Amino acid sequence: MKYILALLFCTSVLFGGTIKIAVAANVSYAIEDLKKAFHERFPDIKVETVLGSSGKLTAQIQNGAPYDLFMSANMKYPQALYASGAAVTRPLVYAQGALALVTTGKTDLSKGLDVLKEERIKRIAVANPKTAPYGVAAKAALEKAGLYDILKPKFVYGESVSQTMTYALRAADVGIVAKSALYSPKLAHLQKGKQWVSVDTKYYRPIDQGIVILKQGENSAETAAFYAFIFSKKAEEIFKAYGYMVP
């Protein structure tokens, strides 16, 4: 399989057709650059993406949604799909995600998570841990910091990282968000160190994000080509440019 994927990626043969990819919301900020770079190599392959929380996308896949590939925000969901036979490749880590604190106010974020204890912080935007892996990571970080139970009444839940970012910027004093979102052009005006800071990884483990080829894409050379591209040097550069770590 690795040899076939390498051959597909290195060949100059032009493919055609369309592939449909289910993409975790946190990758929405990088996916357009990934698609653009892929299109430069394979101009005749059309890539369609559907964005959503990993949990909801997994439910859609299990109910027969016609996706060829799944880029999840963690490993749990692709592992479940592989175990059920809905995915035909073992989940591999394509990137590691990180958390950040963000504010549009004058909150001093240099204190890190401890700033959330301040009385003037009334609402904290977090991703729902029931549907979004970044919500699970945020919960783990707050629990390790001994803050989760204290702060829970302040939470404003987003069903995905994109919705959480919207709440953080419009409906909350501070948000715990996917760091990758802060590298999007639309948020470039937010200053690192002032309006956003990374959450110390001593409080949580960077999030392994997994990719799998789904049953529908099993015999698709186009799907195999995109899958191989995600592990290329060019894709690695793009992921890093959006704040991810690449194993």
Backbone angles phi, psi at 183, to 5 degrees: -100, 5
The DSSP line for 101-133 is EE-SSS--GGGGGGGGGSTT---EEEE-TTT-H
Quickly count: other Cβ atoms within 10 Å of residue 84's Cβ.
Answer: 12
Comparing 216 with 29, the larger pLDDT belongs to: 216
Q: What is the model's pLDDT at position 185?
A: 86
Those residues whose C-beta lies under 8 Å from the C-beta of residue 27, and which sit 6 or more positions away, are 51, 71, 73, 180, 209
At the topology level of CATH, where does 2-96+207-241 sit? D-Maltodextrin-Binding Protein; domain 2 (3.40.190)
Task: Name the one residue in this structure whose structure tokens are 């890539």.
Answer: 47
Distance CA 64, CA 61 (A): 5
* Whether pLDDT at 8 is above 60: no
CB 62 within 8 A of CB 81: yes
Task: Delimit the domains of the chain by residue range.
Answer: 2-96+207-241, 99-198
pLDDT band at 15 (very low <50, low <70, confident <90, very high): low
pLDDT band at 1 (very low <50, low <70, confident <90, very high): very low
User: Which residue in 20, 22, 69 sits closest to 45, CA to CA?
Assistant: 20
Q: What is the model's pLDDT at position 154?
A: 97
Q: pTM score, two decimals?
A: 0.83
The CATH number given to 99-198 is: 3.40.190.10
Those residues whose C-beta lies under 8 Å from the C-beta of residue 73, and which sit 6 or more positions away, are 24, 25, 26, 27, 53, 54, 97, 132, 133, 134, 161, 207, 209
* Whether pLDDT at 92 is above 60: yes
Distance CA 134, CA 137 (A): 5
Average pLDDT in the chain: 92
Task: Kindly report, residue by residue over 124-160, the tens digit of the pLDDT.
Answer: 999 999 888 899 999 999 999 999 999 999 999 998 8
Q: What is the model's pLDDT at position 184?
A: 86
Is-same-fold flag (2-96+207-241; 99-198)? yes
pLDDT band at 11 (very low <50, low <70, confident <90, very high): very low
* Whether pLDDT at 10 is above 80: no
CB 175 within 8 A of CB 24: no
pLDDT band at 161 (very low <50, low <70, confident <90, very high): confident
Distance CA 54, CA 74 (A): 8
Token pair listed for 34: 């990934």
CB 27 within 8 A of CB 133: no
